[in-house]
Amino acid sequence: MSGLVSGHPTKRLSLLAALLLLSACGGLETGNGQTPEPPPEPETAEVMLALGLADMATPLDIVDAGGATVVLDSAELVVDELRVDLDRRGEPVDCLTLERASGVDLDCGADNRLSVPGPITALLLEQRWSPSLGTLNLPAGSYKAVRATVTGLSLAGQVTVAGRALAFSLPVDMTHMLMFRQDDGIEAAAGDKLTLTLHVDMQQLFEDVDLGACVQQQFDRTGANPVVVDASQGCGQVRARLMTALDEAAYLD
C-alpha cells in the first residue's frame, strides 16, 4: 500500500483511477463471476381513468335541498394529485418501467399507491380530463380506490327560485381528499384493457345544499346577475356542505 501513497502525484491519481475502474467493473458481477439477471418486467394492464355522472344527461337539471331548480352549465374539479390504490399483496412496483410504458410521470409509494401528479382539471359535465390522461400501463391486481387531492371546485349555471331564473357562478377553494371507492375491488389481469370510471352523482351533491336560497340572498343584496356566490357573505354553509356532499356523491365503477 505504501506504493500508492508515495511517488509523483499524477501517478498516484492514475493508479487510484485504475483501481476504482476495476472495482466498478467487478461490481457488475456476482460472487461467482456471473452478471446478475435483470429484474423481470412487471405484469401490467392498460387502464383508463374516466369520468362519469351516474348516467345523468347534460345539461344537468337538479333540484336542490330548498326545492329550487339548478341547471348546471359547467362543473369542474381542480386536482393536485390522483392516487390509485392497488392490492399487490406486498409485491413491489417498478415505477420507472411503468413511466416508460405509460408516458406519464408517476410517483410510486412504498404502500403500493401510484400517483399521477397534477394539476389536472376534471371537467365533470364533459366527462374528460384536461390535460388528457390517456391510457396508463399500471400493475395487474385489484383496484380498490382512486384518491383525488382536490384544491378547487367551480360550478356555474342557472338557479330558478320562485319563478325567477338567476345565473350564478360558485368558485370554492379547498384542500380536500376525495375518495372514489369500490369496496369489492376491480380486478385487472395482465394484458387486460380496463376503464375505471370516477363517478360524481350531481343530484346527490345538491340534496343537502340550499343553493337557491344563497343565490337569491346575494342577488337581493347586490342586484347583480349573474350572481358570483361568495362564501364569506352568508353562504359559508353552502361551501361546507358541498365539500361534505362530494364525499357522498363520489364512487368508483
Render pLDDT for 57-109 as a digit per residue (tens, 0 to 9).
555 678 888 999 999 999 999 999 888 877 655 455 566 666 665 555 666 65
Lowest mean pLDDT among 51-55, 76-80, 118-122, 238-242: 51-55
Which residue from 173, 185, 198, 189 is spatially nearest to 250, judged by alpha carbons? 198
- Pairwise pLDDT comparison (227 vs 30), residue with the higher score: 227
> pTM, whole model, 2 decimals?
0.74
C-beta of residue 192 within 8 angstroms of C-beta of residue 225: no
- Residue 16's pLDDT band, with cuts at 50, 70 and 90, is very low
Question: In this structure, what DSSP letter does residue 145 have?
Answer: E
How far apart (Å, rounded) are the C-alpha atoms in residues 86 and 4? Answer: 54
- Pairwise pLDDT comparison (203 vs 17), residue with the higher score: 203
The strand pairing partners of 250, in sequence order, are: 200
The mean pLDDT value for 49-58 works out to: 70
- Percentage of the chain lying above the pLDDT 90 cut: 19
What pLDDT, in 10s, does the model give residues 153-163?
A: 999 999 998 88
The per-residue pLDDT for 109 is 57
E-strand ranges in 141-236 read 141-161, 164-188, 193-200, 227-228
- Residue 139's pLDDT band, with cuts at 50, 70 and 90, is confident
Residue 188 CB: number of other CB atoms within 10 A? Answer: 22
Q: For the chain, what is the mean pLDDT?
A: 77
- Pairwise pLDDT comparison (232 vs 223), residue with the higher score: 223
How far apart (Å, rounded) are the C-alpha atoms in residues 97 and 103? Answer: 10
Question: In this structure, what DSSP letter does residue 158 have?
Answer: E
Residue 253 CB: number of other CB atoms within 10 A? Answer: 13
How far apart (Å, rounded) are the C-alpha atoms in residues 62 and 69? Answer: 6
Complete DSSP assignment for 222-249: H--SSEE--IIIIIHHHHHHHHHHHHHH
How far apart (Å, rounded) are the C-alpha atoms in residues 187 and 94? Answer: 19
